[in-house]
């Protein structure tokens, strides 16, 4: 028997050529493919071989033209790397001109070299499922590992700075900053590394709860003493000093586990080694939708750049707020943004760790702090 594909097309009753079923199928497939291409064309391609983005970049949104002056008309958002499971903790090393960031579930930290764009995929591996990072004023990396706060010394050794607070094991440090005057280290301890085997290990209680009440801590650089400075946030996440070091901002992502929590950024007054006057500075609600405020940095004008997401297109990415808490700008990304930092030779390049990828964009401002 002949293969059906070898049979001639059948004739119609009026003698004209009929349409073979195979032709119809091929046509339908072509139409479907064309539709997919048209649909994909509506979504921005951040791939390595993507077409250039027309200026000005439409995903850099100016909400308040008078206060958001950081948009550059002839620059575009670039995806520098993808392949992470959950990208977090970007920090810029000015001396080495490189960025380090964490990929928590893959138990590694990566490095981006500014001179040629090289990515070291195993910069620190294993990383003890490290999360947030910063560099102190001696250029040493400080990292929030799942079980402790650590510092990488110039000779290559590793120093454990804090493993306990209040006589109990830390839940899992998340984000960290260093004060320039007394070199004290301030960090958050929400405990995400103690409630999930995907990003860590569950606490011994087996109740999906952290080891102790979530809080913000200060580590004294001279004595090594760890002191609790705030516990109002349900789950304190990102932390940042204001540009003049008079305030401290703390992101609250407690809604992941506490029904009474809200997606807000707290503001505290900073008085030496104490925090006071806790209050809500930022409400993350935008067009009736509210997402998590995760990590953040502050620019030289005092504006607060917050990595945000878990809402979807039009929300996920970076949201920018004036010092009074008003939303003034937005950078839309195709993925949830966990954290940001300023880097580059002029400290005017915003690096964004977003879910599986690392993005960057030049802005017309600079980071207020060392990384």
Residues tagged active-site: 294
Which of 76, 135, 178 minimizes the C-alpha distance to 371?
135
CB atoms within 10 A of CB 32: 10
Which of 123, 104, 103 minimizes the C-alpha distance to 113?
123
CA distance 368 to 299: 5
Strand partners, 143: 133, 150
User: Rounded to the nearest 5 degrees, what angle is found at the Cα of 329, between the Cα atoms of 324 and 188?
Assistant: 60
- Measured in whole angstroms, the distance separating CA 3 from the mean position of its chain's CA atoms is 57
Q: What is the DSSP letter of 31?
A: H
The half-sphere exposure of 364 on its side-chain side, counting CA atoms within 13 A, is 12
Question: What phi-psi label fits residue 180: left (phi over 0), alpha (psi between -120 and 50 degrees) or beta?
Answer: alpha
Q: What is the DSSP letter of 234?
A: S
User: Rounded to the nearest 5 degrees, what angle is found at the Cα of 268, between the Cα atoms of 367 and 229?
Assistant: 105
H or E element, residue 307: strand 304-309
CA distance 316 to 293: 10
Distant-in-sequence, close-in-space partners of 43: CB < 8 Å, separation ≥ 6: 334
User: Rounded to the nearest 5 degrees, what angle is found at the Cα of 152, between the Cα atoms of 274 and 252?
Assistant: 40
Distances (CA, A) of 338 to 99, 109, 237, 257: 16, 15, 10, 18
Strand partners, 142: 134, 151
- Please spell the DSSP secondary structure of 63-91, one letter per residue: S-TTT-----TT---EEEEE--SSEEEEE
Rg (CA), the chain: 25
Annotated ligand binding at 88? The verdict is yes
Annotated ligand binding at 294? The verdict is yes
CB atoms within 10 A of CB 206: 7
Which residue ranges are tagged as binding site?
88, 174, 237, 294
Which residue ranges are tagged as binding site for a divalent metal cation?
88, 237, 294
Which residue ranges are tagged as binding site for substrate?
174
């Amino acid at each position: 028997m002949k293969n059906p594909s070898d049979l001639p097309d059948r004739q119609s009753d009026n003698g004209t050529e009929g349409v073979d079923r195979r032709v119809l199928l091929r046509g339908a497939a072509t139409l479907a493919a064309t539709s997919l291409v048209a649909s994909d064309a509506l979504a921005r391609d951040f791939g390595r071989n993507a077409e250039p983005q027309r200026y000005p970049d439409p995903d850099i949104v100016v909400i308040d033209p008078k206060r958001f002056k950081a948009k550059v008309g002839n620059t575009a958002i670039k995806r520098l790397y993808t392949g992470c499971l959950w990208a977090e903790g970007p920090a810029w090393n000015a001396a080495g001109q490189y960025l380090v960031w964490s990929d928590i579930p893959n138990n590694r930290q990566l490095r981006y070299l500014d001179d040629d764009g090289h990515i070291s995929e195993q910069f620190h591996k294993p990383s003890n499922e490290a999360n947030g990072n910063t560099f102190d004023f001696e250029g040493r990396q400080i990292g929030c590992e799942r079980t402790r706060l650590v510092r990488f010394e110039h000779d290559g050794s590793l120093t454990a700075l804090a493993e306990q607070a209040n006589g109990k094991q830390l839940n899992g440090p998340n984000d960290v900053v260093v004060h320039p005057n007394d070199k004290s280290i301030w960090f958050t301890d929400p405990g995400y590394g103690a409630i999930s085997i995907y990003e860590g290990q569950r606490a011994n209680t087996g109740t999906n709860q952290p080891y102790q009440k979530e809080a913000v801590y200060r580590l004294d650089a001279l004595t090594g003493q760890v002191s609790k400075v705030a516990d109002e946030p349900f789950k304190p996440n990102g932390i940042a000093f204001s540009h003049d070091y008079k305030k401290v901002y703390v992101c609250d992502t407690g809604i992941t586990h506490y029904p009474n929590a809200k997606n807000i950024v707290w503001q505290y007054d900073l008085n030496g080694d104490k925090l006071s006057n806790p209050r809500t500075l930022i409400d993350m609600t935008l067009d009736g939708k509210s997402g998590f405020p995760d990590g953040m940095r502050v620019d030289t004008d005092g504006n607060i750049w917050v990595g945000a997401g878990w809402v979807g297109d039009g929300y996920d990415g970076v949201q920018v707020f004036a010092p009074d808490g008003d939303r003034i700008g937005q950078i839309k990304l195709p993925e949830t943004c966990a954290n940001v930092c300023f880097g580059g030779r002029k400290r005017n390049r915003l690096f964004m760790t977003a879910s599986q990828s690392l993005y960057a964009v030049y802005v017309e401002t600079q980071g207020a702090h060392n990384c």
